[in-house]
Structure 1
Amino acid sequence: MELRKNLLTNRLPPSIRGVGDNNMATSLQKKTSRKQQHDFSPSSWTKYFDKSEDVEIQKNKFRVYRSGTEGPILLLLHGGGYSALTWSLLNEELKSRVVCQTVAIDLRGHGNTITENDDDLSKDTLAGDIGHIVDKLYGDEAPPVVLVGHSMGGAIAVHAASGGLIRSLAGVCVIDVVEGTAMQALASMQSYLRGRPKNFRSIEHAIEWAFRSGHTRNLDAAKISMPGQLKNLLTGTIATNELTEEGIATAETCTFSNIETSTVDTILEEEDVDEELAKSKLKENHFKIPGPSSHNDVHDRQAPMYTWRIDLSKTESHWPGWFQGLSDLFLNHIQASKLLLLASINGLDTDLTVGQMQGKFQMQVLTRCGHAVQEDTPDQVADVLASFLLRNRLTTAHGDFNLSFPSC
């Protein structure tokens, strides 16, 4: 009888059991506390790449991040709005699987790259930049080069490869970009861009937004990738340059931690501030520059400190050129081995469906990831890429890495 009484008691609601509102409040506090356990502090790129350098081509300086000294070169091209640091986690996973060299590039108008015309993001200019960088780094002695591009970067990889701009081309991997679906998506792209926050009060706020909004579903990736996508409103400095090797922001940046999920919408509404107004307010000290604080302070009116490195809405004239004719170029004008990696099978258009059935390229569909496939599931992408390199006899495996087989 005593056992039955205890079982029945445990099934009753807290108020009936005599626990009362205090215990319910404690339970809510525990749930809130669990929400606040995320650490949104940024990470340094130095853990993931061996070095960075600026490749000078005429009056332009292209920032590249490099790892490895042996094996084929994987030339990593990020998507629009991202930076070379989007490849950080993938790079670490790849190095543990196969022998290879990696070169991740901040494309024109992105990251720490500085050019005479950052607004010229035409397919021919971007593809030409890639060819010039490879020639400058390796000359006539370049090892086999595999172009790996995500989204816009995947389109540019196809244009560079089909245009014969990479003399030692051995392979092309395109990540989550298909001509048909890309062209359809252009109509809603401006609406998507308007829906993003224009400014952020701190790097931490930007990382939190990226993670909670699904911009990247991997918090570790957001912590290393987001600083490369931001610039300081007052100084114009890329946020990556304000971090130490330990990833801690320097004194002029503002930091917040343990922000409740319920405050995110308020943060985004308050941060849609005119960039020029924000600069003037910062200079005049009319706004309080935030330092470390409790989450209660997020409702205070404070100046935004960071905005996007590139205003993608102003590049619209180049969007069609990136994607028009992409399927034909990928299928019929690239002689090297080809890999298409997608986040959804629904993204495949008719031409590519026929080409895949004819065995013209290898295709892999990954699940449980968003558009930023290389950030969301770096281990799975590394498995696919490593297997692609091994299957085409471009490298050798490290340790007991097992070759995976292509599948949908």
Structure 2
Amino acid sequence: MSDLQRSFLKAKLAHLPSLPPEDVMEAPPEVDYDDSSSSASSASSTGTIKPLQSKNLFARPIGFVEKLISFSEIKNAGASRNGQLERIPWSSYFSQELYLQNPSVDGKPAITHHVYVTPPASKGPLFVTHHGAGSSGLSFAVLASEIRKLLPQAGVLSPDARGHGETVVSTPEDGGSTTLDLSLDMLSNDMIDIIRLTQAKLGWKEIPPLVLVGHSLGGAVVTDVANRGVFGDKVLAYAVLDVVEGSAIDALQSMQTYLSTRPLGFHTQASGIEWHIRSRTIRNSTSARIAVPALLRHNPSPQTPSRTWVWRTDLAKTQPFWEGWFIGLSKKFLESKGGKLLLLAGTDRLDKELTIGQMQGKYQLQVFLEAGHFIHEDLPEKTAVTLVDFYKRNDRSALVLPPKVADLLKSSRERSLGL
């Protein structure tokens, strides 16, 4: 480093607060949320954060320059006291919210699916999203807006999965088990039902061309739906955001430890938003302001005043389903029909099967090294550009096919006969 650079850094650092010790986590201690152990966090999504040989599997080591950036974000996060981190309503990003009734069938409890939707125009495609574990349909809100800026005729359907957001599973009338079924098979069935129920609710004569987009757990769900082939050629393509079978299963070994580091609750919604930004769980403040409030529910009688807002989804209770979400994901991803996109936050997440598939050109790979696990929330503009380009490459309506030989012969005969 030159003398000029060194003097410049000293002048800048003189106006900054002193840095914390190297072993201190990024979230500062003065925040008004409870820092005790927890069983839920939106950050988990059974993250495909790369498996490391350390106890802090999900902690992101930061260097000197990143600490300067982090402290700048923390300073800006203090603006929440001035209303800068208030929630943003869903209506800023979607045209409608729907409650889709799905009655009880074969002894299974009824469910009311809650979805956010902006219908496609004309013959535009419908991007159908599925969020990760612990998140909600609003995880894709900013991305939905960016997609429509680039492709105005496109529609976006973003549901809350069962056990998340405002989707409600009814209590069995016979007093049976109330254990929430979050198996991959159940979540895939839900996604199929949601598409069909939305079609009926909005009066579509047929299902629009579909582009399925799933983040983390949602990536496993959209891949499973594509693999089933229930919508046939309607599924043009599917995209998986930051989840790979190998690294996901490795990361599950430390998931409970990771969850125990999350706060149990927050004093206000703004505190929850601020925590997500301070901890760099979500690196885009706009995304945090729209997505985080949907992850929390108000607790009218908290045992601790600092936990007035608690997590809607207790991720620790979903542990029996974790491995089932991801086993066989890579094989299904490569074998299913339709265009394939894998969008990652790091090349180290690729497992052997996907590495070979990528070398063989079986799918499109895009890596955003500057993003965290929530790629679509951290970088919604770049993600939208990638998804829209991905759709255009797989849009069959744009193809001009040559006429069939039989049609050419028939036309030639008719001309020769003067017909």
Shift of residue 33, structure 1, vs aligned partner? 7.1
Shift of residue 166, structure 1, vs aligned partner? 3.2
Is residue 165 from structure 1 mapped to residue 168 from structure 2 by the alignment? no
Residues 5-404 of structure 1: matches in 2 within 5 Å?
Answer: 36-38=78-80, 39-58=84-103, 59-70=110-121, 71-98=124-151, 99-116=153-170, 119-138=180-199, 141-167=206-232, 168-234=234-300, 279=302, 281=303, 302-332=305-335, 334-393=336-395
1:90 partner amino acid:
L
Shift of residue 141, structure 1, vs aligned partner? 1.1
Shift of residue 348, structure 1, vs aligned partner? 0.6
Q: For the aligned residues, what is the CA RMSD? A: 2.6
- CA distance in structure 2 between the partners assigned to 1:34 and 1:126 by the alignment: 38
Residues 151-188 of structure 1: CA deviation (Å, up to 9, x unaligned)? 00001111111122334211110000000000100001
Shift of residue 303, structure 1, vs aligned partner? 4.3
Change (3 A) 1:141 1:212: same
The sequence identity of aligned pairs, in percent, is 37
Shift of residue 43, structure 1, vs aligned partner? 1.1
Shift of residue 219, structure 1, vs aligned partner? 0.9
Shift of residue 76, structure 1, vs aligned partner? 0.7
Shift of residue 48, structure 1, vs aligned partner? 0.6
2:119 partner amino acid:
G
Change (3 A) 1:194 1:360: same
Structure 1 regions of 5+ residues with no counterpart?
A: 1-9, 15-24, 235-277, 282-286, 288-301, 397-408
Question: How many residues were matched structurally?
Answer: 312
Change (3 A) 1:394 1:104: farther
- CA distance in structure 2 between the partners assigned to 1:394 and 1:119 by the alignment: 39
TM-score of the superposed pair, with normalisation by structure 1? 0.72
- CA distance in structure 1 between the partners assigned to 2:75 and 2:236 by the alignment: 51
Are the equivalent residues in 1 in contact too, given 2:127–2:211 (CA < 8 A)?
Answer: yes
- CA distance in structure 1 between the partners assigned to 2:269 and 2:225 by the alignment: 34
Change (3 A) 1:35 1:305: closer
Structure 2 regions of 5+ residues with no counterpart?
A: 1-6, 18-71, 104-109, 171-177, 399-419
Shift of residue 144, structure 1, vs aligned partner? 1.1
Change (3 A) 1:307 1:387: same
Runs ≥4 residues deviating over 4 A: 25-28, 31-35
- The answer to which of 220-229 and 133-142 deviates more is 133-142
- CA distance in structure 1 between the partners assigned to 2:326 and 2:16 by the alignment: 52
TM-score of the superposed pair, with normalisation by structure 2? 0.70
- The answer to which of 370-379 and 302-311 deviates more is 302-311
Shift of residue 310, structure 1, vs aligned partner? 0.5
Change (3 A) 1:118 1:54: farther
Change (3 A) 1:190 1:34: closer
